[in-house]
Amino acid sequence: MARAVSTRRKTIATIAAWLVALVIFFPILYTVATSFKTEAEAISGISLIPSGTFENYVQVQTQRDYFKPFMNSVVISVGSTVIALLIGIPAAWSMAFSPTKRTKDVLMWMLSTKMMPAVGVLVPLYLMFRDFGLLDTRIGLTVVFTLINLPIVVWMLYTYFREIPGEILEAARMDGASLVGEIVYVLTPMAVPGIASTLLLNIILAWNEAFWSIRLSAANAAPLTAFIASFSSPQGLFWAKLSAASTLAIAPILIMGWFSQRQLVRGLTFGAVK
């Protein structure tokens, strides 16, 4: 009896959950489906079964040079994340393993820089970029994204490093390991998973950032966010092509996101929810 009830309950919950999930996912599914339709099909009613043309993908490349903004996105998001890691790893390391009275204050202060609204510094940043010739350059955007994500990088790494037990270090030291030996042979292997998740989350955040990337770039350095935003002008009213460009723009990040769900919670809540 109890078993029957629980099976029924499971079935109902399953149906409800799948319905809700499909409604939420529908816009993405529909975009992917539309990307394989012809332009005429795209505006002729709901249909999830396209005629299967790849024409839109070809045209997005030949007419709008999709590869260029794609490479800009790759270079800027990966570049800024790697630089932020190079700066952030030593900082988080020293905070986790030789904390002082002020470590907590420094961490909180770093987090507070993240609270600064972008529009609050739009004007000076824009003027500085103009004066230094950084407008519409990959370097300019990489610098901004590095600084924007640095606090999250340090925080995430810190919460991971903090979980590495200090006793292991002492044991290694007893066994005669040098400081370099400690870092290379003991700590690094334990820190790799944390560093990897930090890397992943920050690439996702940088890839999707859509304020600075749109405002500080034009034809040359525009990443995908700015590229897609340019489809809002009338000449871009080609839904099948818009869908193809959109699918290409979100696919890599969607897949990375699926793999990093757990770390996402931790990273975005600064360790407050695990």
Partner 1 sequence: MATRQTRTLARAMMAPAVVLLLVWMIVPLAMTLWFSFQNYNLLNPITRGFAGFLNYEFFYTDPAFFQSIANTLIIVGGVLAITVIGGILLALLLDQPIFGQGIVRILVISPFFVMPPVAALVWKNMIMHPGYGVLADIARFLGLQPVDWFAQHPLFSIVIIVAWQWLPFATLILLTALQSLDEEQKEAAEMDGANVFNRFLYLTLPHLARAITVVILIQTIFLLGVYAEILVTTNGGPGYATTNLAFLIYRTALLSYDVGGASAGGVIAVVLANIVALFLMRAVGRNLDR
Residue from 50, 76, 79, 110 in contact with partner 1 (CB under 8 A): 110
Distance of CA 58 to the CA centre of its chain: 27
Residue from 115, 167, 174, 175 in contact with partner 1 (CB under 8 A): 115
Least distance in Å: CB of 220 to partner 1? Answer: 18
Print burial letters for 116-128: b (CB count within 10 Å at least 16), e (below 16).
Answer: eeeeeeeeebeee
Print burial letters for 180-205: b (CB count within 10 Å at least 16), e (below 16).
Answer: eebbeebbeeebeebbebbbbbbbbb
Determine if 30 is a binding residue for partner 1 (CB under 8 A). Answer: yes
Residue from 5, 49, 180, 274 in contact with partner 1 (CB under 8 A): 274
Determine if 154 is a binding residue for partner 1 (CB under 8 A). Answer: yes
Determine if 250 is a binding residue for partner 1 (CB under 8 A). Answer: yes
Q: What's the rounded Cα separation, in Å, for the pair 115 and 161?
A: 24
Closer residue to partner 1 (CB): 9 or 58: 9
The residue whose two tokens read 């690094």 is 188
Closer residue to partner 1 (CB): 23 or 62: 23
Q: To 10 degrees, the CA torsion angle through 193, 198, 203, 205?
A: 140
Task: Count the Cβ atoms, other than its own, within 10 Å of residue 259.
Answer: 11
Closer residue to partner 1 (CB): 12 or 168: 12
Closer residue to partner 1 (CB): 107 or 221: 107
Determine if 74 is a binding residue for partner 1 (CB under 8 A). Answer: no
Q: What's the rounded Cα separation, in Å, for the pair 38 and 41?
A: 5
Closer residue to partner 1 (CB): 46 or 52: 46
Determine if 183 is a binding residue for partner 1 (CB under 8 A). Answer: no
Determine if 75 is a binding residue for partner 1 (CB under 8 A). Answer: no
Determine if 176 is a binding residue for partner 1 (CB under 8 A). Answer: no
In 3D space, the residue among 223, 205, 212, 76 whose CA is nearest the CA of residue 152 turns out to be 205
Determine if 215 is a binding residue for partner 1 (CB under 8 A). Answer: yes
Q: Which whole-number Å values give the CA distances from 44 to 34, 41, 64, 70, in the listed order?
A: 11, 5, 25, 30
Determine if 22 is a binding residue for partner 1 (CB under 8 A). Answer: yes
Residues 78-97 that bind partner 1 (CB under 8 A): 87-88, 90-91, 93-95, 97
Determine if 100 is a binding residue for partner 1 (CB under 8 A). Answer: yes
Q: Are 233 and 99 in contact (CB under 8 A)?
A: no
Of the ranges 51-59, 132-140, 190-198, 250-258, which one interacts with partner 1 (CB under 8 A)? 250-258
Determine if 48 is a binding residue for partner 1 (CB under 8 A). Answer: no
Judged by DSSP in three states, 99 sits in: coil
Closer residue to partner 1 (CB): 93 or 160: 93
Residue from 128, 168, 184, 218 in contact with partner 1 (CB under 8 A): 128
